[in-house]
Amino acid sequence: RRSRQTSGAPAHALSASGVGALSSDAHMRVRTPFRCSPHPCEYEIAFVSDVEGDLDYFNRWVAGSRCVAYTGSDEAALTLTHARAYFVYGGDVPDHGRGSEQLLRLLVGLKRAFPRRVALLVGNRDLNKLRLTSECAPSDLARPHWSIPAPHWDPSAPTLSQHLEQVAAARGGGATAESCDCAAERLRWMYDNTLGCPATFEARRAELAALRSVGSATGDNGGGGGGGGGAAVSDEEVVAAAVADVMPGGAMSNYLRHACVAAVFGQTLFAHGAVDARTAGYVPDDSTRFCLPAAPQAGRMVDSVSEWVDALNGLLERGLADHAARPEWDAERATRGGEVLLALQNRDAMWGRPRRHRAHRPFQEPSTNLPRTFCDVGLGPSSRTRTRTGGASLLRARRACARRRSQTQRRVPTLPPSPPWPPTRSTRASLRGC
């Protein structure tokens, strides 16, 4: 987890933690880069990312934030504390904790209250939930379990058949893979072996039970778990709630429709991650499939940050509309709605085989492949920038750029130096909300 709150953040700082776009109007339909005042002392940005359903951690972060606070003691809604406050959530809202739905609703409520001062980014754990509407649909459950392969990005992961055989062996009493094959076990297999969150099924059950208990006390059924207050949450209800969250009107669907792939505040680029020399400026084609291609799939390069952010956010909006129109597989099981967004959060689907197996290098080295405009905001070999990222890809790109600094002739505007990052002992004391 990474959280960061800066006062007077320098306009040339760059932050990266995944890849979505910033809605700039009250209805979240015009998706353009938001540029606040260029003067670094006129705004304050609070940043937190990858909470992953841990509502207790998020509450502790809010308690130490100068920009974000709860409106009352019941912790039912968030607000910005002053007129210069901005907030960026870096993506990955759900999964490991027991507060995923509540956190989704809190963030969307804050975005609706301050549409121009709040940016919600989409992460891989947000976008990959679009799979649930097709892979947990009755039509897909009718497919033989042995016909469903392991995830293409992790060939070592157990297949659905292997998972069901393990479940049958654990149950004993003559249980077979066929007798154990149901929607709940398929969802467990997805969580355990394809989404990287083995505790999510039971965490979701616990959250539904808690919401149901609160709903019983207030006369409301709570978070869509169904049934009366105090009743246990069944496996079928957990599956139904997981699918309903992604459908229009659900908590995850609302978050995705208020979120963006990337946002720009001043000259600071925020994204969930994977911003490196290969991906900077690249926009996937709408026809991109969620599969393991033999070569990188179709796409185009753009020459400016603003054009790139606009294009990615437009891609998100079109992908969500496609998913709403086609939430399940087609008759041939060849395609489904929102495939480009599933591919967007999966590097192997975008670029082909994993790096450790890839025999081809379709793009040039970082120092010669970046458009000039990207160098102007701190991605180039001669710029000085502070980075905040959820992965090491950007750091590796910067190191490669630094090694080639003496070889490039590119002229980049001189930028004022950034404070040291990671913070030293002296500067760490001034950072609140971390």
Sequence-separated (6 or more) residues with CB below 8 Å from residue 83? none
Under the banding of pLDDT at 50, 70 and 90, the label for residue 155 is confident
Whole-number Å distance between alpha carbons of 394 and 119: 21
Whole-number Å distance between alpha carbons of 131 and 128: 6
Q: What is the pLDDT of residues 234-275, one digit of tens each?
A: 999 999 999 999 999 999 999 999 999 999 988 889 999 888
CA nearest to 324, candidates 338, 313, 335, 312? 338
Taking the whole predicted model, whether its pTM rises above 0.85 is answered as: no
Residue 266 is predicted with a pLDDT of: 84
Q: What is the pLDDT of residues 166-223, one digit of tens each?
A: 999 999 888 999 999 999 999 999 999 999 999 999 999 999 999 888 766 565 555 5
CA nearest to 382, candidates 418, 417, 411? 411
Under the banding of pLDDT at 50, 70 and 90, the label for residue 52 is very high
Q: What is the pLDDT of residues 332-381, one digit of tens each?
A: 888 999 999 999 999 888 888 655 444 333 433 333 344 433 433 333 33
Q: What is the pLDDT of residues 281-321, one digit of tens each?
A: 999 999 999 999 888 888 999 989 999 999 999 999 999 99
Helix H segments across 51-137?
55-63, 100-113, 124-127, 132-135
Whole-number Å distance between alpha carbons of 250 and 130: 12
Percent of all residues in the chain with a pLDDT value above 90, rounded to a whole number: 54
Residue 92 is predicted with a pLDDT of: 95
Q: Which two tokens stand for residue 164?
A: 């069901």
Query: Would you tell me how many other CB atoms lie within 10 Å of the CB of residue 158?
Result: 17
Whole-number Å distance between alpha carbons of 101 and 120: 15
Is the confidence at residue 28, as pLDDT, over 80? no
Q: Which two tokens stand for residue 18?
A: 């995944």
User: End-to-end alpha-carbon separation of the chain, Å?
Assistant: 10
Q: How far is CA 65 from CA 70, 259, 281, 322, 406, in A?
A: 11, 22, 33, 38, 42
Residue 49 is predicted with a pLDDT of: 95
Q: How far is CA 72 from CA 3, 76, 289, in A?
A: 23, 7, 45
User: What is the 3-state secondary structure of 163-197?
Assistant: HHHHHHHHHCCCCCHHHHCCHHHHHHHHHHHCCCC
